[in-house]
């Protein structure tokens, strides 16, 4: 893929971000003298084809979202943020590509390893599919720490994407770290849909990032479909009575698992418990937006998006 690109500086990371010039091909191929009416060319159609013509809906930024094929929550949550903040996010759009994951049961450690192989193996095809829609920036819609042990190995996956493709990418480990630093948080509790093995992996990633994981709560879902069906009431119970307790003295609750919706719970409980709840979907999208220069406070999405 030989895209021309322009560069910006990431608003949180300070890294150089290359944005493909996705409007160029339209400018070169949409020509007014080729328009036809009832089979006949139209002369003098009033269209200036000498200027770039952006995507009519995603004209401010077109994000490519990469999610497992079983995920029904993350795209919904990101669109809800966009639709609830149209004044600030006008022209921000999302194009979703599925990573094919036919083996979705995770009853054993062997199941988890098999899922890791098919997920990582399917990433390249998902990105190539996403590229057909000409996104400018990618969002990794997966808790990689669920299936990969340790921050170094997680970074291998995201670094390979940025080295192989002409895109920068927002990934959960970078987003969570940036968000926790905004709150100067050190002691955290994790809420996940994972089994014991997944929680061990998750704890390892946050410890590698320098945080003290005081406690973890996992719903131990036996397959990836079930994750989306965990009721909000159960998440609230876990946060109020098992994580954000006086004994634990947490600085933040961190939610993992992109198929486990958290925005409504975050909005309901943050004021009550007095500490931030960093849901993976909202936090990763926050990171993508701030990296791309969208700095307005955003509503109905949790403290993080309002305050930073």
- 214: burial class by Cβ within 10 Å (0-12, 13-18, 19+)? middle
Task: Please state, rounded to an integer, the average pLDDT across all residues of the chain.
Answer: 92
φ/ψ of residue 114, rounded to 5: -65, -40
- Assigned domain for 207 exists: yes
Parent domain of 127: 5-21+52-173
| Number of structural domains the chain divides into | 2
Q: How confident is the model at residue 64 (pLDDT cuts 50, 70, 90)?
A: very high
Same domain as 58, residue 107: yes
Residue 292, in any domain of the structure: no
Q: How many CB atoms lie within 10 A of CB 1?
A: 11
- Same-domain check for residues 183 and 124: no
- Cα–Cα distance measured from residue 104 to residue 224, given in angstroms and rounded to the nearest whole number: 6
Please state, for a pLDDT cut of 90, what percent of the chain lies above it: 73
Claim to verify: residue 81 and residue 165 sit in the same structural domain? yes
Same domain, 132 and 213: no
Which SS3 state, helix, strand or coil, does residue 211 take? Answer: coil
Higher pLDDT, 107 or 80: 80
Nearest to 91 by CA among 65, 64, 66, 55: 55
14 and 134 share one domain? yes
CA distances from 300 to 71, 93, 221, 285, 307 (A): 22, 18, 28, 14, 12
37 within a domain of the structure (yes/no): no
294 located within any domain: no
The residue-averaged pLDDT of 93-98 equals: 95
Residue 2 pLDDT: 46
- Look at residues 114, 144, 173 and tell me which one is the last residue of a structural domain: 173
Asked if residue 25 has pLDDT above 60, the reply is: no
Q: 231-266, pLDDT tens digit by residue?
A: 999 999 999 999 999 999 999 999 999 999 999 999
Instruction: Determine the average pLDDT of the residues in 93-120.
Output: 79
pLDDT of residue 84: 97
pLDDT: which is higher, 108 or 194: 194
Say whether both 127 and 275 belong to one domain. Answer: no
Q: What is the pLDDT of residue 109?
A: 77
Domain end among 143, 173, 203: 173
Burial track 238-250 (b if 16+ CB lie within 10 A, e otherwise):
bbeeebbeeeeeb
Mark whether 88 and 207 lie in a shared domain: no
- Asked whether residue 79 falls in the same domain as residue 122, the answer is yes
- Confidence band for 4, pLDDT divided at 50, 70 and 90: low
The domain that holds 258 is classified in CATH as 3.40.50.1860
Residues 6+ positions from 195 with CB-CB distance below 8 Å: 106, 112, 218, 220, 221
Q: How confident is the model at residue 1 (pLDDT cuts 50, 70, 90)?
A: very low
Instruction: Tell me the average pLDDT across 220-236.
Output: 93
pLDDT for res 24 = 61
Q: Are residues 150 and 218 in the same domain?
A: no
* CATH code, 167: 3.40.50
Q: Tens of pLDDT along 114-173?
A: 777 777 778 999 999 999 999 999 999 998 888 888 999 999 999 999 999 999 999 999
Q: Is 164 domain-assigned?
A: yes
Residues 99 and 162 in one domain: yes
Examine residue 217 and state whether it is found in any structural domain, yes or no: yes
Is pLDDT above 70 for 14?
yes
What Rg do the C-alpha atoms of the chain give, in angstroms? 21
Does residue 251 form part of some domain? yes
pLDDT recorded at residue 116 = 77
In this structure, the number of other CB atoms found within 10 A of the CB of residue 47 comes to 13
Residue 290 in any domain: the answer is no
- Shared domain for 58 and 154, answered yes or no, is yes
263 and 208 together in one domain: yes
So what's the pLDDT on residue 43? 84
Q: End of a domain among 151, 173, 195?
A: 173
């Amino acid at each position: 893929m030989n895209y021309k690109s322009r560069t910006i500086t990431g608003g949180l990371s300070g890294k150089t971000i290359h944005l493909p010039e996705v409007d160029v091909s339209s400018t070169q191929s949409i020509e007014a003298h080729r328009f036809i009416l009832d089979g006949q060319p139209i002369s003098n159609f009033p269209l200036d084809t000498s200027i770039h013509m952006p995507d009519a809906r995603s004209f401010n930024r077109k994000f490519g979202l990469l999610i497992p094929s079983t995920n029904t929550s993350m795209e919904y949550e990101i669109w809800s943020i966009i639709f609830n903040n149209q004044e600030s996010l006008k022209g921000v759009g999302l194009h979703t590509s599925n990573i094919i994951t036919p083996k979705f049961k995770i009853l054993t450690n062997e199941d988890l390893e098999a899922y890791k192989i098919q997920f990582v193996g399917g990433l390249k095809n998902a990105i190539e599919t996403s590229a057909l829609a000409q996104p400018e920036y990618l969002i990794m819609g997966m808790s990689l720490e669920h299936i990969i042990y340790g921050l170094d190995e997680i970074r291998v996956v995201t670094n390979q994407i940025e080295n192989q493709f002409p895109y920068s990418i927002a990934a959960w480990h970078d987003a969570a770290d940036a968000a926790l630093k905004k709150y100067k948080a050190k002691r955290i509790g994790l809420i996940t849909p994972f089994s014991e093995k997944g929680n061990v992996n998750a704890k390892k990633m946050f410890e590698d990032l320098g945080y003290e994981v005081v406690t973890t709560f996992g719903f131990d879902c036996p397959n990836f479909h079930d994750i989306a069906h965990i009721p909000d009431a159960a998440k609230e119970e876990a946060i109020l009575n098992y994580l954000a307790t006086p004994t634990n003295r947490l600085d933040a609750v961190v939610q993992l698992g992109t198929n486990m919706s958290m925005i409504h719970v975050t909005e309901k409980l943050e004021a009550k418990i007095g500490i931030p709840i960093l849901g993976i979907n909202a936090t990763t999208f926050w990171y993508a937006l701030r990296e791309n220069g969208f700095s307005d406070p955003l509503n109905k999405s949790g403290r993080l998006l309002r305050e930073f």
